[in-house]
Structure 1
Amino acid sequence: MEVIITREDQIGELVAEEIAALIARKPNAVLGLATGSSPLRIYDAVAARVASGEFSLAHASAFTLDEYVGLPDGHPCGYRTVIEEDFVSRVDLPTEAVQGPDGGSSDLDGACASYEEAIRKAGGVDLQILGIGTDGHIAFNEPGSSFASRTRPKTLTAQTRRDNARFFDGNIDAVPVHCLTQGLGTIMEARHVVLVATGEGKAEAVKHLVEGAVSAFWPGTILQHHPHVTVFVDDAAASKLQLADYYRHTYAHRHLVTR
């Protein structure tokens, strides 16, 4: 796991460089897209680079991580709507090339199985963008999630619903109780995982993610077993890391290391 501590306003550009390098190697790359506030600077930076002609996503495809259950099509907080507005509409990635789990299906288990099959047929995710919740969840894999889990329905914790109420005009009662989410086993199959966390509120989760014991109580810690994870954090999110100075040192000398 590589930990990069930098200014919040630099994170988007650094991840955009990773995506540009991937597209240069593989124009038809498969991206894993996350919603929430953490990836917004990434999407801004990628959109600017696509607009300038630096690279194109015209031959790429993407999968969203999760979706609420029960929101009507086109709901402003539905993750398909959010990812369309925040990213897809701003780049040349074809709308039809973006897939997500169907939270409106009458057969949720079947929808999850179909989604997993779509990822498999696409050849798997090349680069997965992640945030992390204050309780350590990645995607909607709440504490206690199985490390072997696949895409499935989940019940959201009260903490996650409180955290997400800001997207529902502060009304926690409007936040759905259930969701469909990629499982931890699904996420671990992505070839490269890029996780972004900023702000003091994420410091405890980042401490466990990077330096804590691998435990289902902090689901994101499973990423310690992934062969290629890059964690981008600002100083506030890194404030509880015991080895922060070492991470800064290794990043300063990163250009000397060949992966």
Structure 2
Amino acid sequence: MEVVITDHPELVVADAVAEAITGGATTLGLATGSSPLPTYRELIRRHREEGLSFANVTAVMLDEYVGLPHDHPESYTRFIHDNFTGLIDIGDVYLPDTMSDDPKKAARDYDELIARVGPVDVQILGIGSNGHIGFNEPSSSLTSRTRLKTLAERTRLDNARFFDSLDEVPRHAITQGLGTITEARRLVLAATGEGKAAAIAAAVEGPLSAACPASILQWHAHATVVVDRAAAALLRDVDYYLNAYEHKLAR
């Protein structure tokens, strides 16, 4: 695992995406939430000002709330369209059918779709304050596939700020599983702020454990965790991470 500590995580993540696309990558995994937003803004800027094209790229969504119409202001489908895919020249954007009468089957169907259009070349990830990635809450199997998940109350509380009340926050989502996520060729996780420091420390330096789903990145051959200094505050080996990145050799 590569750990990058920087004042501008969005530039490092955008570099990883841009390098992959210009190198011929055709499938991009998209996450939602506050952490990826600066990256999406930077990629939009590069598209508009530097000619970075996504025309040959297919995108797959990481997760979506169950039962929330896709045009709902807080649906992840609407979020990614309004903040990224609707502002660039990207090809197809795939998401699970979370309005299906059979969400378990919809999850299996989506997992099969990802396998057909993938493997994902770069999967962008955020991290929840309890260590979840996607909606893989603590106790999720490290080999789990795309499936229906019940959201932890802590996750619902964290997300309630986007809704008018906690009661409006859905209790279920379809999410790519940890096994599905780790089939991507590269994982890039971004986190900022002291509120993510404990989760980052557990993911990077704690044991590989279902108690912290994001720790699965330790098992991946090409995973990068990009954090600002506040999110890195509880890491023990900060000096090493800074030195390793400063003297990084090209892959």
In 2, distance between residues paired with 1:89 and 1:81? Answer: 9
In 1, distance between residues paired with 2:99 and 2:205? Answer: 38
Unaligned runs of 5+ residues in structure 1 are: none
Q: Does 1:175 align with 2:173?
A: no
Name the structure 2 match of 1:116. 111
Task: Identify the match of residue 24 of structure 1 among 9, 13, 22.
Answer: 22
In 1, distance between residues paired with 2:210 and 2:33? Answer: 22
Task: Identify the match of residue 56 of structure 1 among 53, 58, 68.
Answer: 53
Deviation at 1:123, TM superposition (A): 2.7
SS of the residue aligned with 1:245?
helix
Name the structure 2 match of 1:197. 191
Deviation at 1:83, TM superposition (A): 0.5
Equivalent residue letter for 1:2: E
After superposition, give the CA deviation of every residue in 1:68-115 in whole Å (9 maximum; x if it has no partner): 011123111111111000101111113xx0011111111112211221
Equivalent residue letter for 1:160: T
Deviation at 1:53, TM superposition (A): 3.8
SS of the residue aligned with 2:190?
strand
Deviation at 1:206, TM superposition (A): 0.4
In 2, distance between residues paired with 1:53 and 1:98? Answer: 23
TM-score, normalization by structure 1: 0.95
In 2, distance between residues paired with 1:194 and 1:240? Answer: 20
Name the structure 2 match of 1:11. 9
Task: Identify the match of residue 154 of structure 2 among 146, 150, 159.
Answer: 159
TM-score, normalization by structure 2: 0.98
Give me the identity figure in percent.
Answer: 52
Deviation at 1:258, TM superposition (A): 3.4
In 2, distance between residues paired with 1:106 and 1:143? Answer: 27
SS of the residue aligned with 1:57?
coil
Equivalent residue letter for 1:100: L
SS of the residue aligned with 2:149?
strand
Deviation at 1:129, TM superposition (A): 0.4
Deviation at 1:116, TM superposition (A): 1.2
In 2, distance between residues paired with 1:15 and 1:218? Answer: 22
Task: Identify the match of residue 35 of structure 1 among 29, 32, 35.
Answer: 32
Task: Identify the match of residue 226 of structure 2 among 228, 232, 244.
Answer: 232
SS of the residue aligned with 1:82?
helix
Unaligned runs of 5+ residues in structure 2 are: none
In 1, distance between residues paired with 2:198 and 2:13? Answer: 23
Equivalent residue letter for 1:56: S
Does the CA-based 8 Å contact 2:13-2:190 persist in structure 1? no
Equivalent residue letter for 2:152: T
In 1, distance between residues paired with 2:226 and 2:31? Answer: 15
Q: Show the 5 A alignment for 1:91-110.
A: 91-94=88-91, 97-110=92-105
Deviation at 1:230, TM superposition (A): 0.7
In 2, distance between residues paired with 1:24 and 1:88? Answer: 18
Name the structure 2 match of 1:47. 44
Structure 1 runs of 4+ off > 3 angstroms? none
Name the structure 1 match of 2:2. 2
Greater shift in the superposed pair: 180-189 or 119-128: 119-128
SS of the residue aligned with 1:52?
helix
Does the CA-based 8 Å contact 2:188-2:226 persist in structure 1? yes
Equivalent residue letter for 1:3: V
Q: Does 1:258 align with 2:246?
A: no
